[in-house]
Amino acid sequence: MTELSLPSKVIICEVAPRDGFQAESEWIPTDQKVQIIRNLAATGIQSMEITSFVHPKAIPQLKDAEEVVKRSQDLTGMKFRALVPNLKGAERAMDSGITKLKLMLSATDSHSLSNANSTVKEAQDKLEPIIEAAHKKNVTVGGSISVAFGCPYEGAVPVSRLVDILERYKAMGITEVSLADTTGMANPRQVYDLLGELKVRFPTITFSMHLHNTRGMALANAISALQQGIIHFDSSIAGLGGCPYAPGASGNIATEDLVHSFSEMGIKTNINLDSIIEVAKGVKKTLGHDGGSYMLQAGPNSALHLKPKEQVKMQDNG
Ligand code: ZN
């Protein structure tokens, strides 16, 4: 019998301060945002997408991006990155001290037109000046592809389309690309086969997975990716998140669920499971809801129940 071969450790990037908060219609005071970021940092999380430097009118919830970054800068153990939709956003991010930018791009024209008001080609053309500006300031840039595994408007996304986008990213000097299942349309077989193909075609690119749990497949998809040797995963505390441009989309894979699964499998995350569950509980309390979290519903495997006999004894004792 052969044993399943999996990576021994993974790197989880917490995205709730961007992907989660942007989906909240009610204003979250900056103090609360910063407190959640600090609580997350205390669990051992080492990587975080802290905000998006999007136009304040487009997503008012993130209009305090500069202040959030400024007030989190003493968290030196954390690698912060910010999502930037355009050059103006990139300039704002870099001016506020961000040293890693994440670019936005959709896999399909329909999603791109609704999200960025441009076709994919036009949107990718606009990335070049951002990359140039970042290089001048020694700022790292990572790429992303939204709706990479399925588009809510167009359905299946041909592999050739992803290959074209990745070729262009590669030509721009991008070496990290986040593949996003923005509306939870991916399935485990698809993830496994697609990553297998992309890894062979683009051996110099590091892929990360950004999975939404819209249809309950995010965890299975994460394990599929893990089986292809992927070690970079995005997740969101308490399962917060959704794409404001994709109708019906909700819930990133919950960080506490991902940490629990990996820890049960003996894969290191550097994140303390008990602490992250506590933070998830706190976030749920602060915001008044979660975005879907098995840990918040059932607790971890380690939280054993009383045996039936002990329950009877407890009842006897009143
Ligand atoms: Zn997302």
Whole-number Å distance between alpha carbons of 285 and 184: 26
Whole-number Å distance between alpha carbons of 149 and 190: 8
Q: What are phi and psi of 257, to 5 degrees?
A: -70, -40
What residues have a C-beta under 5 A from ligand 1, the ion? 19
The burial of 197, by beta-carbon neighbours within 10 Å (0-12 exposed, 13-18 middle, 19 or more buried), is given as: middle
- Label residues 238-257 b or e (16+ Cβ within 10 Å = b): bbbbbbebbeebbbbbbbbb
309 Cα–ligand 1 center, Å: 46
95 Cα–ligand 1 center, Å: 25
255 Cα–ligand 1 center, Å: 13
**3 state DSSP class of 235:** strand
134 Cα–ligand 1 center, Å: 23
Asked if residue 54 lies in contact with residue 85, where contact means CB atoms within 8 angstroms, the answer is yes
76 Cα–ligand 1 center, Å: 25
The per-residue pLDDT string of the chain (318 residues; one tens digit each, 9 = 90 and over) reads: 788 889 999 999 999 999 999 999 899 999 999 999 999 999 999 999 999 999 999 999 999 999 999 999 999 999 999 999 999 999 999 999 999 999 999 999 999 999 899 999 999 999 999 999 999 999 999 999 999 999 999 999 999 999 999 999 999 999 999 999 999 999 999 999 999 999 999 999 999 999 999 999 999 999 999 999 999 999 999 999 965 555 555 589 999 999 999 999 999 999 999 999 999 999 999 999 999 999 999 999 998 888 887 776 666 665
Whole-number Å distance between alpha carbons of 141 and 146: 16
- Label residues 29-41 b or e (16+ Cβ within 10 Å = b): eeeebbebbebbb
Whole-number Å distance between alpha carbons of 191 and 153: 20
- DSSP class of 238: G
210 Cα–ligand 1 center, Å: 6
Annotated catalytic residue 243: yes
Active-site annotation holder among 45, 84, 243, 259: 243
Whole-number Å distance between alpha carbons of 246 and 18: 16
Output the CA angle 113-119-124, nearest 5 degrees: 120
Domains and CATH numbers, the chain: 11-317 (3.20.20.70)
